[in-house]
Amino acid sequence: MIEIAPRTFQVEGRDEADRALANEIVVLVRAKPDLVLGLATGTTPVGVYRELVRLVGTGELDLARVRTFNLDEYLGLERNDPAAFRARMQAMLFGPARIPLARTDLPACDVQRKGEAAECERYERAIEAAGGIDLQLLGIGRNGHIGFNEPGSERATRTRIVELDATTREDAAAAFGGLERVPRRAITVGIATILAARRLRVLAFGPHKASIVRATLEGPICTAVPASFLREHSDVEFWLDRDAARELVRVPSNRV
Ligand code: GLP
C-alpha cells in the first residue's frame, strides 16, 4: 500500500484494502463494542464484509453489539424481496457475521407514499439517537453518486426520496433481472448525513471507476459529482486499486 496523495491509498490488489478496513473496524470495535457502522451496498464493499465474516468466524471479532445503518434502499419492493438491500445485507453480512437483526437498520423498501416523509425523518432520528455514525463505508457510483445522492444533490441534503438516474438503473439491471424491473425511486441518506459521520472510508476498484475517481479527487467540489464533497471531511480516506487510480494526474507514480 502506498499513500499516493494525502489520505489517498493505492493498493496492489483490492483484498489489501479489504483487510486494512476490516482491521480498522476490529480495532474500533475492541475500543467501543457498540460501534455505529455506516454500511454501503454495491459490489465494492463485499470484500470488506467477507473479511469481517471471516474474523467473526475465527473469534477475532465480535459484532454482536454494533449498530449498523445502511446508506440507502430501493422503494416499491416487498419487504422480503431478495433484490432489496435489506435482503442482500442479511445474506452477505448480518447473518454470517451474527449481527442481531434489531441492531441493523435500513430505510424501509415497502413504505406507502403517504408514509415516505415520516420514514425519512425516522431514519435521520435513528442515526442521531444512536449517537451518529462512527465509521461510514462508501463506494462511488459510475456517475459520482454516494448512497443514492445522484448528480445535482446539494451538500446540505438529508435523508429523502430520490429518483434514480438512468446510469444507476442500468448498473442495477442485472441484480433485478432486467432494467424494467429496477425501481425508479429510492430513499437515501443525504450528503450532509454522510459528512456528519466521524470517519469516512471510500473504496473504488477497477478501470470503470478511473474517470469518476479523478473527477472526485481532482475536479471541482460540486453537486455534479456528489462524491467530490467527501474531500471536505477532516477524516476521510480513499482506498483505490491501481486501475481506479490510473487517471489521477497529480500523482507522479501514475504518469508512467
Ligand atoms: C449503488 C449504491 C451505492 C454504491 C454504488 C456503486 O447504487 N447505492 O452506495 O456505492 O452503487 O456500486 P458498485 O460498488 O457496484 O460499483
pLDDT tens for each residue of 81-119: 999 999 999 999 999 999 999 999 999 999 999 999 999
pLDDT of 256: 45
CB 188 within 8 A of CB 71: yes
Low-confidence ranges of the chain (pLDDT < 70): 252-256
User: How far, in Å, CA of 180 to CA of 173, rounded?
Assistant: 8
Looking at the annotation, which residues are catalytic? 72, 143, 145, 150
Cβ–ligand 1 contact at 107 (below 6 Å): no
User: How far, in Å, CA of 44 to CA of 140, rounded?
Assistant: 8
Q: What's the pLDDT tens digit per position in 52-75?
A: 999 999 999 999 999 999 999 999
| The pairing of beta strand 8-11 with beta strand 2-5 | antiparallel
Residue type, 121: E
Q: What are phi and psi of 163, to 5 degrees?
A: -90, 135
- The answer to whether the pTM exceeds 0.95 is yes
What's the chain's average pLDDT? Answer: 96
For residue 141, report the distance from its CA to the centre of ligand 1, in Å: 5
Per-position b or e across 118-152, b if 16+ CB within 10 A of its CB? ebbebbbeebeebeebbbbbbbbbebbbbbbbbbe
Cβ–ligand 1 contact at 41 (below 6 Å): yes
pLDDT of 119: 98
pLDDT of 255: 47
